[in-house]
Amino acid sequence: MTTSKRGLLEYTYQKFLEVGTSETLPLKTLDSILLDNLTGFGTAADERVFSKSDFYTIIERQREQSKGLNMKWRFVPMVHRVSKDGNSAVFTDDVTLEMDINGEPIKMDLRFTIVLEFQDDKWLIVHWHGSKPVQVESETDTFGIDQWKQRTIELEKIVANRTADLVEKNNELETAIDALKATQSQLIQSEKLASLGHLAAGIAHEIKNPLNFVNNFSELNLELIDEIKEELQKLPESPEKIEIETILEDVVTNQKKIHQHGTRADSIVKSMLHHSRGGNGIKEPTDINELLKEYVNLSFHGMRAGKKPINVSLDYQLDTSIPKVAVIMEDISRVILNLCNNAFDAMHERLQKKNYSEHYQPKLTIKTIEKNNQVVIEIMDNGLGIPSELQDKILMPFFTTKRGTEGTGLGLSITNDIIKAHGGNLRIESKQEEDSFTTFKINLPI
C-alpha cells in the first residue's frame, strides 16, 4: 500500500471519529466517506443501520441525549488490520467515555469497529458497530451464562429480603391495627363508663336528700323516745307501763339500725359523688386506712348490686399507727376500686369452676403496715390466682385475660402508672393450685 493511500485511510478514520463524537460538527460532512447503503448495529436491539440516513438518526439521537453531559472520548486501538490487496480494512478500538451527570462523574467502557473499502480512489466506511461489552470472563463463562445465573440468584435474594421486610412491616401494621382497635374499644368503654358515672352521680345526688331526711328523723325519733321515757317515769308502775317501755326499747333498737345503715348508705353516696366529680389533682395528707375502708366498701356494694354478686368476707388488718400519706385521693381511690373489682372477679371465677372445694369461702384481706419509711398496702384475694407466665404481662397496656369486651386491658396498667406517679411501686404475688391467692402490694413513700 502506498504512503498516500495509507494516509488517506488514517484521515478517513480520524474524520469519522471527530464528526461522530462531536456535538456541533455537521453530520453531512461525512457524506463523502460513507457508503450509501452503509450497514451497522449498536448495543440496543433497535440500533440497526442500513443506510446513511439510519446512521445519522442514531448519531443525532445520541447528540440530543448527550447535551450538557460534557462527554469526553478516548480511543485506544485494539486491532487495525488492512487486507493484503490494500483495498479493505478493519479498525477496532477500545473506547473510554467520561461524562458528568448531575455533578457526578460517570465512566463507561465501550468497543467500536468500522469496516472500510477503497472505491473510486477513496476510502468508504461500509460497516459500523459500537457496543458496551459485558464484564464477564469469556474463557470460563461463554455468553455470560454463569453471570446471568448468579445475577438471578442475587435478584432472588433481594426479592426474598424485600418480601421478608414486607411481611415484617405487615405484621407491625397488624399489631398497630389491633392496638388501634383495642384503643377504640377502650374509648367506647370509657364513654360508657363516663355516661354511667354521670348517671350514678345524678342518682346519688337524688338519693342523698331523702337519705338525709331518713338519718335526721331517725336521730330525732331517738330524742323523742327519750322524752317519752322521761314522761313514763312520772307514771305509776303498771303492766301497761311495762308493755309500753318494752315496745319503746324495740323502737329504739330499730331506729338505731335505721340510723346505722342510713349513715352507711350516706357514706357510699358521698364516695360515689366524690369519685364521679374527680378532684383537683393535688396531693393532700390522707388517712389511708379510712380511704381503704371507704372504697373497698364502695367496690363491695357495687359488686353485690352488679351482674356477678357473690358472698365475700372482708378482713381488715389495718395498722392504726401509720401516718397520713400525701396522695391524690381520687387517683388512689381509683387504684383501690380497680384492685378490688379484679379480686371480686377472680373469686367469682373460682366459684364457677366445677371442681372447686365446697368449703371454699371467698375472702378479701386488706392490710396496711409501715415499713422502711413507706406505707405498704396489701389487697389479697383467694381467687384462682394468676399463671406465672402472665404475671410479667398483666401490667402491660391492652393485656387482658377477660373474654370479649369485659376488659380493656388498661385497668392494671393505669393502676401501675398512678402508683409510679406517686413515687411508689406495685408488686404481684400469686399462686395457683388448691390454696390459690393473689396479693397486690402497693408501696407508697411517707
442 and 293 belong to one structural domain? yes
CATH at residue 345 = 3.30.565.10
Q: Of 80, 110, 131, which residue is a domain's last?
A: 131
Global pTM value = 0.45
Are 33 and 83 part of one and the same domain?
Answer: yes
Task: Give the CA distances from residue 214 to residues 164, 200, 224, 257, in Å, rounded to whole numbers and listed in that order.
Answer: 72, 20, 15, 12
* The three grid cell numbers given for residue 409, joined into one nine-digit string: 386491658
User: Residues 226-246: pLDDT tens digits?
Assistant: 888 888 888 888 888 889 889
The per-residue pLDDT for range 256-274, each reduced to its tens digit, is 888 888 887 777 676 666 5
Instruction: Assess if residue 202 is contained within a domain.
Output: no
Q: 93, 109, 131 — which closes off a domain?
A: 131
- Which residues, in sequence order, are CB contacts of 367 under 8 Å at separation 6+? 316, 317, 318, 377, 378, 380
DSSP 434: T
Confidence of residue 155 (pLDDT cuts 50, 70, 90): confident
pLDDT at 404: 45
Question: Strand 34-41 to strand 122-131: parallel, antiparallel, or no bridges (unpaired)?
Answer: parallel
CA distance 83 to 91: 11
Q: 3-class DSSP state for residue 161?
A: helix
Q: How many domains does the chain have?
A: 3
Residue range of the domain that includes 58: 3-131
pLDDT of 193 reads 56
* Residue 214 cell numbers, joined: 331518713
Nearest residue to 39 via CA among 124, 132, 134: 124
Question: Distance between CA 66 and CA 49 in Å, rounded?
Answer: 20
**Alpha-carbon distance 343 to 363, whole Å?**
9
Same-domain check for residues 384 and 318: yes
Query: How far apart are the C-alpha atoms of 259 and 371, rounded to whole Å?
Result: 38
